[in-house]
Structure 1
Amino acid sequence: MIEYTQKVGVLIRCLLCFTLVLPVDVRGQTRPVSTSASDVASLEGNVVDADTRQPIPGATVTARTESGNVSGEQIVPADGAFHFSLDPKQTYVLVTKASGYQPTEERLAFTSSYTNRLYGKLIRLKRADASTPASQPTASRQENAPRPTAPTQPAGIPPATNASAVAVRNTPPPLVAKTGETTQLRAIQFVQSKPDLLPEAQPALDQLLAFMQTNPSVEIELSGHTDNQGDFDKNMALSKERVDVVKKFLVKNGIKARRISTKGYGPTRPIASNSSEETRRLNRRVEMTVLKQ
């Protein structure tokens, strides 16, 4: 009888140990460490001469957080292109330097922590001796001299450009975006307080057009954003007018209107403070979201 009681006691203790240990094991298995694609976003752009728009090979681009931590540093190749993988939840300072040029610092922020990509970032460096223009072959100077002026068509829509003109403007690399991704089209810039495109926006427009042409089934949403300066209702209307101008450019060049929807958010979705001009210009932007691939 004593032996039986001892065996029962051992069995009970074993069951208690199993009961205490098992939940820990189970809980440990139900909490895997996961990573999300939204934890990393790409920043792509080019470093060019502010006057000639030609690439500056050998320029150094450094991306650091506002706290001073360096997230990446690159020496750009012959085409002036750079690419960083950054945390979209952070705000960065881009520091660009090149021999013979004035260094620049610029704040940069992604639209939100869900932004996947920011492309077409153009960093323009001025020569240290502004009175000495960059030396180029005569043919190149002739091509650059008659750079297209501001659009004369209604609603600020610029004319389509030929291949040689795009090459001179240093067109950014081909646009790639997946369904659900939001991409900042920061290079698409407008005249202040107007829905008229600046000539410098043309390369990014051509890039967007090429993306729509090479992906005939893609449907996108273009969203316009402003800072908080001025009348709220006017800013809402202006943001919608600006993306409508981009849509008209695409439609004019053969893209079906049904593939493009537009929305104006005005100042309601800022990505930076509106306390200074430096940060307000980050809020003035056009974004593209791929709705259907």
Structure 2
Amino acid sequence: MLRAFIWFVLLSGGLAFGAQAQNVEFSKDQFAEKKQELKEALRELKAGDEAYQADPANYNAALPHYLAAQELNPDNAALNVKIGDCYLHSGTKSAALPFLKRAQALAPASTPRQHYLLARALHLNAKWAEAIKEYQQCTPGSSTKLAEGEAPITASDVANRIRECRNGQELAKHPVRVFIDNAGPEVNSPYSDYGPVVSADEATLLFTSRRPGGPNAPKDPNGDSYFEDIYQTAWAGKNWRPAATLGSPVNTDGHDATVGLAPDGQRLLVYVDKNNGDIYESGLKGTAWDKPQRLGARINSRYHESSAAYSYDGRYLYFVSDKPEGGHGGHDIYKVELDGTKPAENLGTTINTPYGEEAVFVMPDGKTMYFSSEGHNSMGGYDIFKSTLRNGQWTTPENLGWPINTPDDDVFFVASASGRHGYYSSDRPGGVGGKDIYRITFLGPEKPPLLSEESQLLASRLAPQPQTLLAPPVAVATAQVTILKGTVTDAASRQPLEANIDLIDNASGQTIATFHSNATSGKYLVSLPSGTNYGIVVRQEGYLFHSENFDLPATAAYAEVVKDVLLKKLEVGVVIVLNNIFFDTGKATLRPESTAELERLHKLLTEQPAIKLEMAGHTDNVGKPAANQDLSQRRAQAVVAYLTEHGIAASRLTAAGYGDTRPVVPNTTKGGRQLNRRTEFKVTGK
């Protein structure tokens, strides 16, 4: 079965009718002077009923026939109910309201089913109080069905709908401060565009579109639109570049839809309509995406796997499945280690409810998760929720609020690494066409007005009009993560290199993850959640490794750092800075966080038994020159001592302390002095 993408709409409108409106039947008596028109209308009604009463009902096929019949007779209650029901099963659900209101006026003795349909239409138009009244007039029972083949309305369903309306009433009282902007014609088409996924730095956007892929593109036989294909665009500075299809082998003759994108934009998760719905993965090789490969049996099952997201380090996958084993009802969110062997772990009842969960997305900060749920305090259908990982546990999900969430289904939300922008799809008035992709800008809390002190002092005597002053700016909460990006190139030729980029936890010495720069562009991107002392090691066969250090406190706010890496080949005279060698201030004792870097240096000397190195210590110009020279000498000797103690011949190593005599930048700033305090090695023989 085709993947069900569900979206909210904010359409409104109404059909005027008088208080004395009466039901009009499709009969010869009513249309004596329009016999031919009546005959055509009855033909349309019959065609509509065949689709409407099918098992399962084909609302999409029935609707145009019903609308054609309604042109002759807009005052038939039963027809208006059917049109409203069809709209409630369409992509423009809120358009059902005027038809169901007309039916109510034409046939006041409404059935419980008609009350329920009208309640749903009022609910979807955020008319909370009116919807609750209609729900309360429902009498759920075995005979109260929406249509043939559908389950009867139950008391628990009605109670849940009323709960959603009351949630909506409360959430609508406190709307969140956001801008919601259309992504523009470069992204959106006259057809439906949805399922956006974005790289951590917002440089790349991919999405699903129902637009024709070519002049002779076939249409989906199960609908009135084209097959889904995946499109890609890049940020041009002020807007997106015109989107282009990914083409073969990602896009096929069938449906191909976006699911998730790795933070660095190098791996793409794709939904494929096989085996009841499975998740596949494609990798970016240079400028082309390779053929998607089905993920393993610990993720895909004989049930429906509908969405997925990578963890920031690429080690874990969060995915959604409706498999019954270990589930809590409907679709649940699971977590699995991609290279591990353990079964996938259900995230538990804090996240998963007896209702459905969908569209999981995990931020590059490693601790913030967004997903959609029909449970928790949803205001209707799926709402988007946020949860934070604290002390190994996910917090109670928080509804993103109105107007991001609506009474209709709100799903497939993703965000930039900064947390400042979000992306999702909506069917809003004024769009380019069909469902469009929108960009949300979170504005943070409203700035409170300030009263001037003078006005407050005079208030009791003169009662002046208080003067409103500009309040201090309110900071927008951003994610606690640093995005490190740049290009890796050959130091001599400046040609891009496809290099391995290891992310090291210096405290434990463990490799957290390994990434790759792009083979064609040399571009790379690494997400660094705050709270860790990171070592970054760039390596490529035939080159000396390059290291960087990022010691990020837990409170470090979002930042983007651009660092271009020049890899040097193993040649006599080449100098490499060891950015992950650490000493206490004023001392020459190696700190434990240095171990991983020392082991890399040891490995280099072991794999290249002929090379000889000079270990050099350098300081800034703070302090006396003699003391600085002595300290730098002792630090260089400490590195040599570590290597010789671990089996490297002393004849291959020399130690030199240069004090403050060889600065790489001026010592006029704190940052400059930090760069000058360094340990490095120079190749002296090979």
TM-score, normalised to structure 1's length? 0.48
Higher relative contact order structure (alpha carbons within 8 Å, sequence separation ≥ 6) = 1
TM-score, normalised to structure 2's length? 0.22
Structure with higher helix content: 1
